[in-house]
Amino acid sequence: MKIIANIISNILRPKHRFVYTKRTGEQGIYIVTNCTAIKGSDMTRFSNKESREQGIYKIGFRAKVVNRGGAVRSFYYDKVREMQKLSIFERAVT
């Protein structure tokens, strides 16, 4: 039964795995759910003071991170090194 529930969850809330370079230079792996930025939505995109002064209003996006207890985290576009969509059969390890 858990397998079917996992498949249904992955269909309803697609997950993506990011390899992301942190501020310290280390790489971290994040599993995010239902990332609206991937779908082209502007709702979760952000900028900071420095980027707005340069006229750039979309430097990153926010997403709910499954392997961080469901907390929302900000990601800079230029620091995402790799992105994979998890298959509907793959279990997100938290």
Annotated domain spans of the chain: 2-85
- Predicted structure pTM score: 0.71
8 or 80: which leads in pLDDT = 80
Domain spanning 2-85: which CATH class is it, in words?
A: mainly beta
pLDDT digits (tens, 9 = 90+) for 24-61: 999 999 998 867 766 666 777 777 888 889 988 888 88
Distances (CA, A) of 47 to 81, 88, 89: 19, 32, 35
